[in-house]
Amino acid sequence: MHKPGHALSFREQQIVALIAEAKANKEIAYDLCLSEGTVKEYLYHIFRKLKVTSRTELALRFLRDGFTDRTLA
């Protein structure tokens, strides 16, 4: 679930994992003590890094592939 050179930060990985649990932005924000706007910014960057176009695609890729050492920042 990565593109070489486009590592996910620890926080981005946390957000992806919560997306895979079908959590809404508001729930993710609460769980991680962030604003909802900050979660949206993280998602924007995650989508671009991983070249996905939807939360569903992101969740499916995470559930299929998980994280590898190369996705760590």
Given this model, what pLDDT does residue 68 score? Answer: 57
Residues 9-45 have pLDDT tens digits of 999 999 999 999 999 999 999 999 999 999 999 999 9
Spatial contact of 19 and 62, defined as CB atoms under 8 Å apart:
yes
Which positions ≥6 away from 59 have C-beta within 8 Å?
Answer: 16, 19, 20, 22
Domains of the chain listed by start with CATH number: 10-65 (1.10.10.10)
- pLDDT tier at 65, thresholds 50, 70, 90: confident
Give yes or no for residue 69 having a pLDDT over 70: no
Closest listed residue to residue 56, CA positions, set 15, 12, 22? 22
Say how far apart CA 72 and CA 67 lie, in whole Å: 8
pTM: predicted TM-score of the whole model, two decimal places:
0.82
Say how far apart CA 37 and CA 29 lie, in whole Å: 8
Given this model, what pLDDT does residue 47 score? Answer: 96
